[in-house]
Chains A and B, each alone.
Chain A
Amino acid sequence: MLNSFGHVSLEHYLVLSAILFTIGMLGVLLRKNVLVMLMGIELMLNAVNLSFVAFSHFTGNINGQIMVFFVMTVAAAEAGVGLALAVTIFKKFKEVNIKFFENLKG
């Protein structure tokens, strides 16, 4: 009954986390919209959170979940600043494209 299909180990969660991180990285690399790039960063941070929680569960150590709090707070702060930058870039160029970031000074 406990075959390889029914048994979920730590490696399953780690591989899922790696796949999610890769998808987020592709979102940052391939897209030109600043908002979608920020969403890719959020996906990467969530992949890290998943591996933290999985380690915390499978080792019985609670410190991983504490670290997830910090990652979440920093992610929310990063989204706030990134969206403020996107608002600035839209006010000047009427488009949210990453190629306009080099013109953003002063």
Chain B
Amino acid sequence: MLTSGLLFYILAAAIVLFAIAVVMSSNPIYSALYLALTMVTLAFMFFMLNAPFIAGVQLIVYAGAVVVLFTMVMMLFDLKKEQEAFARGKFTGFIKIASAGWLCGLIAGAVYMSSEMIVSGSKAVSENTATTKNLAIELFTNYILAFEALGILLLLIAVGAVSISRIKGGTHA
């Protein structure tokens, strides 16, 4: 049990560090690579949470597809050294950081205050419910309509992305 706690803290520290590096690096290609590292570490965390199929999908979809899409688009661009990577204005920047910290504190405080209410000690974590077979049964019986709707959404997105990237300016090209 102690090793799982230690593993959690190591993974959490890695996730937070990589996420901060995504936001802070001024070269966008470094941001994309740190994003890939964040996704891989999150996949490890999903694996720790008894969700191996979600972990695999996370690796394939995010680290394999989305980040590669980002890097390929970046190769398409001619990226020079960014002049103004961050938004200007010291005061507004301070307000943004302060409000984000305030939001994080509010969420953490709410979690801490309601720690007796949420899942009050239901340590009956059933190991067998979260298998891939049960996931598939649930997805293809109760959520079949949402699944089909996602297919239609992906088709729309494919057509829309192609038509957006062919805009030449002026009226409808």
Give residues in A with beta carbon < 8 Å to B: 1-2, 5-16, 18-27, 29-33, 35-36, 38-40, 42-43, 46, 49-50, 53-63, 65-66, 68-70, 72-77, 79-81, 83-88, 90, 92, 94, 96-97, 106
Contacts and interface: CB of A to CB of B under 8 A. Distances in A.
A62 B4 CA distance: 22
A62 B51 CA distance: 10
Interface in B43-74: 45-46, 49-51, 53-54, 57-58, 61-62, 65-66, 69-70, 73-74
A49 B46 CA distance: 9
A54 B12 CA distance: 13
B16 A19 contact: yes
B103 A11 contact: no
18 contacts: A11-B111, A18-B108, A20-B15, A20-B19, A26-B96, A33-B28, A42-B62, A42-B66, A46-B38, A49-B58, A50-B46, A60-B126, A60-B130, A65-B51, A66-B138, A79-B69, A88-B167, A106-B172
Contacts of A58: 119, 122, 125
A70 B150 contact: yes
A76 B66 contact: yes
A8 to B, nearest CB: 5
A76 B60 CA distance: 12
B37 to A, nearest CB: 12
B72 to A, nearest CB: 9
B33 to A, nearest CB: 11
B77 interface: yes
Given A7-B1, A16-B15, A33-B85, 5 more contacts: A11-B112, A25-B103, A32-B87, A36-B23, A50-B45
Nearest to B51: A53
B39 A46 contact: yes
Complex A-B, nearest 10 residue pairs according to Cβ-Cβ distance, in ascending order: A6-B2, A18-B107, A6-B5, A22-B104, A27-B23, A84-B161, A77-B157, A84-B164, A60-B126, A57-B49
